[in-house]
Amino acid sequence: MDSAARTGGMARGVFTADHEIFRTQVRRFFEREIVPFHRDWERAGIVPREVWRKAGAEGLLCPMMAEEHGGAGADFGYAAVIIEEIARSNASGIGFPLHSDIVVPYVEEFALPQKKREWLPRMAKGEIITAIAMTEPGMGSDLKAVRTTARRDGSDWIINGSKTFISNGQNCGLVIVVCKTDPGAGRNGISLICVEEGTPGFTKGRNLEKVGMHAADTSELFFDEVRVPAENLLGEENAGFSYLIRNLPQERLVIAIRAAMSMDVMLQKTIDYAKDRKVFGQTVFDFQHNRFKLAELRANATMFRVFVDHCLAAHMNGGLSIEMAAQAKLLGTEMQNRLLDDCLQMHGGNGYMADYEIGRAWADARVGRIYGGSSEIMKEIIARSL
């Protein structure tokens, strides 16, 4: 049985046989089109757009999108398979889940029918790469504090403001802009408006240099009197905050799923390394302290895997709550950072070398405690339900 279907000697029941057949297809694609080139993309700071088109042709983008729009109409389990295979490959620069599972659902649910017909098939093919622009300089996790504005002018919206830390920012052909359409109404004055690449006044700033996730293009975006048709509004005016709150649990589950697989894979690589690496006449694994540490890490990783699979099953059945998603993200990213730090330490000096996967995974994981809502925000969400 594949290691994705078993964790810590325990069978996983959340995936069907069809999911696992799809996993084989996804893994082959990654082995052929992603893994051999990812280090080059890390140095370049971006994944070529052609890779997105290849993924679209293979059906690896937007699996949950309705067939009428160019997707497969599949359940979230297929998305989870892709997320896990990204983590298995340590290919953190691949922004498919942000596009497919976080941004595109807003368009599919809230865009006008003519905009769906125009955009969604091209999103499924990888011809349009998407981003969502929430964070602003000095704003952090407080969505209510956005300063980017959109004012109505006849049949158009005119957008002014700036965003930062926007994933897929360089590659994006369409970005959902979180903006204030009623500046005095706080969270009740936020709207989501789509802006296409090439629209006058919309410019992409520098590709930001990060501590980790080097292949993931991350940008500043600027909007100077950007005029877009009123039809680019998603859903109702001033209802954007409620849409974000409703969709954020899936985003946080995406992060938790990735953390769980990263822990599983990097822990096994560390166990293999410890059994092979010799110091003082014996293997690293032969030292009782190291065996006990690895045993502890395995127990924790297995425990989290059980919980995240429970959350995945709940989400597939429409029962993942905001609080449970926050718990999964909080526990997963905090545990992932601790586990990878311990695994890196067990590699010694080799662990700090970029040629070893553990060092890159360790650096890539750090942002998990920040994006999608920081750990502190997750605690606040959980605390509200107590």
Dihedral of the alpha carbons of 30, 35, 37, 42, in degrees to the nearest 10 = 110
Q: What is the pLDDT of residue 10?
A: 64
**CATH value at residue 276:** 1.20.140.10
Q: What is the pLDDT of residue 372?
A: 92
Inside any domain, residue 222: yes
pLDDT tens track for 43-52: 999 999 999 9
pLDDT of residue 6 exceeding 60, the answer is: no
Host domain of residue 234: 130-238
Residue 258 and residue 374 in one domain:
yes
**Which residues are catalytic, by number?**
251
Residue 103 DSSP one-character state: I
Inside any domain, residue 1: no
**CATH value at residue 108:** 1.10.540.10
Of 89-93, 160-164, 170-174, 299-303, which gets the smallest average pLDDT?
89-93
Confidence tier at 133 by pLDDT (50, 70, 90): very high
**CATH value at residue 186:** 2.40.110.10
3-state secondary structure 303-357: HHHHHHHHHHHHHHCCCCCHHHHHHHHHHHHHHHHHHHHHHHHHCHHHHHCCCCH
**239: β partners:** 190
| Per-chain mean pLDDT for the chain | 95
Residue 116 and residue 167 in one domain:
no
Q: What percent of the chain has pLDDT over 70?
A: 97
Inside any domain, residue 339: yes
Inside any domain, residue 177: yes
pLDDT of residue 329 exceeding 80, the answer is: yes
Residue 27 and residue 74 in one domain:
yes
- Of the chain, the end-to-end C-alpha distance in Å amounts to 40
**Contact (CB, 8 A) for 374 and 134:** no
Mean pLDDT of 335-352: 97
Q: What is the pLDDT of residue 1?
A: 43
Residue 141 and residue 248 in one domain:
no
Q: What is the pLDDT of residue 138?
A: 78
Q: What is the pLDDT of residue 11?
A: 78
Of 124, 144, 176, which residue constitutes the final position of a domain? 124
Inside any domain, residue 51: yes
Q: Is the dihedral of CA 311, 313, 315, 320 positive or negative?
A: negative
Residue 57 and residue 88 in one domain:
yes
Q: What is the pLDDT of residue 355?
A: 86
Mean pLDDT of 298-304: 97
pLDDT tens track for 175-231: 999 999 999 999 999 999 999 999 999 999 999 999 999 999 999 999 999 999 999
pLDDT of residue 34 exceeding 50, the answer is: yes
Inside any domain, residue 326: yes
Residue 94 and residue 29 in one domain:
yes
Q: What percent of the chain has pLDDT over 90?
A: 92
Q: What is the pLDDT of residue 145?
A: 82
Residue 265 and residue 376 in one domain:
yes
pLDDT of residue 37 exceeding 80, the answer is: yes
Q: What is the pLDDT of residue 141?
A: 67
Q: What is the pLDDT of residue 354?
A: 87
pLDDT of residue 3 exceeding 60, the answer is: no
Residue 110 and residue 154 in one domain:
no
Inside any domain, residue 142: yes
Inside any domain, residue 179: yes
Number of domains in the chain: 3
Of 238, 270, 304, which residue constitutes the final position of a domain? 238
Residue 269 and residue 379 in one domain:
yes
Of 124, 144, 179, which residue constitutes the final position of a domain? 124
Q: What is the pLDDT of residue 41?
A: 97
**What length is written for the chain?**
386
What is the bridge-based pairing of β-strands 6-7 and 130-133? unpaired
Look-up of token digits 């125009």: 118
Residue 47 and residue 152 in one domain:
no
pLDDT of residue 144 exceeding 90, the answer is: no
Residue 256 and residue 233 in one domain:
no
Residue 145 and residue 11 in one domain:
no
**Amino acid occupying residue 350:** N
